[in-house]
């Protein structure tokens, strides 16, 4: 039963959010939305605990495609970072602002970059490409591009407001379509150029500007019992994010990029990772 504890805890957290938002904002949608996401994540964690190989893929597609197709395409909610700025400028706490608060700003204090490993609709496609483990060393300096993307996204939405452009809601929908197409295109190009499926996450994704600092303090993280480690480096070879996971410290190299996929744990021959 103990192995299913993370699944139960995650379900309880999402249900608490679902009921709180439903009651506070008097909107039944939030009960459905967060219950659905919480159920998918809890099911995935339970499948993972039971040793099912495709547990993470299941959650990625169940949550990622729900957000992309149902929320984005059918309900016209811009859930990308531009949507977050849009709702923030509008002064409304709904849709993308709630999504960012839960998944990308405060949530990472609890579950790190679980969003990146289990729910992101961009990575759900990028993870299907052939370079699951990076085939080339990381280009350290390129990480600065994420800040350029972050500022550009903010400047784009701010300029629409400053120019008093009309029909902003429709424009945000088209930005959502265009933004996603651009992310997929850049993500695929970078993956092949660097032989690394997650190159987009490492160098360009603007959301990491929120995710990285918050996940540094994450309650849930991969721990290493260094007294057990035999320095075989198998965990380092399988890690898609180049995390120095055989070092237990929070300040380990690329520690804030861990997507909680647990491939390292599966690879460790002496069960030093947990």
Which residues make up the interface to ligand SF4 (CB under 6 A)? 116, 120, 122-123, 200-201, 205, 207-208, 222, 224, 229-235, 238-241, 243, 245-246, 258-264, 267-268, 270, 272-273
- The nearest distance, CB 22 to ligand SF4, in angstroms, is 26
What are the distances in angstroms from CA 21 to CA 13, 30, 35, 189?
12, 6, 11, 39
- The nearest distance, CB 39 to ligand SF4, in angstroms, is 21
- The nearest distance, CB 12 to ligand SF4, in angstroms, is 23
Q: With respect to ligand SF4, which residue has the nearer C-beta, 35 or 247?
A: 247
Q: With respect to ligand SF4, which residue has the nearer C-beta, 22 or 259?
A: 259
- The nearest distance, CB 27 to ligand SF4, in angstroms, is 25
Q: With respect to ligand SF4, which residue has the nearer C-beta, 14 or 48?
A: 48
Alpha helices in the chain (DSSP H): 5-25, 28-49, 55-65, 81-90, 96-99, 108-111, 114-118, 121-126, 145-162, 168-194, 199-203, 208-216, 234-238, 263-267
Q: How far apart are CA 57 and CA 118, in angstroms?
A: 7
What are the distances in angstroms from CA 138 to CA 42, 141, 192, 198, 242?
33, 9, 14, 11, 8
Q: With respect to ligand SF4, which residue has the nearer C-beta, 17 or 268?
A: 268
Q: With respect to ligand SF4, which residue has the nearer C-beta, 15 or 212?
A: 212
């Amino acid at each position: 039963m103990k192995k299913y504890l993370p699944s139960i805890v995650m379900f309880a957290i999402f249900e608490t959010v679902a009921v709180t938002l439903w009651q506070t904002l008097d909107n039944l949608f939030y009960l459905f939305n967060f219950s659905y996401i919480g159920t998918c994540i809890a099911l995935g964690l339970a499948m993972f605990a039971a040793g099912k190989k495709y547990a993470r893929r299941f959650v990625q597609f169940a949550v990622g495609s729900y957000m992309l197709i149902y929320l984005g395409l059918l309900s016209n909610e811009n859930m990308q970072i531009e949507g977050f700025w849009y709702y923030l400028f509008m002064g409304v706490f709904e849709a993308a602002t709630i999504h960012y608060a839960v998944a990308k700003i405060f949530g990472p204090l609890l579950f790190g970059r679980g969003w990146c490993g289990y729910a992101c609709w961009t990575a759900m496609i990028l993870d299907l490409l052939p370079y699951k483990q990076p085939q080339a060393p990381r280009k350290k300096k390129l990480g600065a591009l994420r800040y350029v993307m972050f500022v550009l996204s903010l400047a784009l939405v701010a300029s629409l407001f400053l120019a008093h452009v009309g029909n902003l809601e429709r424009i945000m929908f088209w930005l959502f379509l265009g933004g996603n197409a651009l992310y997929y295109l850049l993500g695929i190009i970078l993956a092949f150029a660097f032989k690394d499926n997650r190159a987009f996450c490492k160098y360009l994704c603007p959301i990491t500007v929120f995710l990285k600092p918050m996940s540094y303090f994450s309650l849930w993280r991969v721990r290493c019992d260094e007294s057990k480690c035999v320095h075989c480096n198998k965990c380092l070879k399988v890690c898609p994010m180049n995390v120095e996971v055989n070092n237990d410290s929070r300040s380990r190299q690329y520690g804030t990029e861990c997507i909680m996929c647990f491939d390292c744990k599966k690879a460790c021959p002496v069960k030093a990772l947990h």
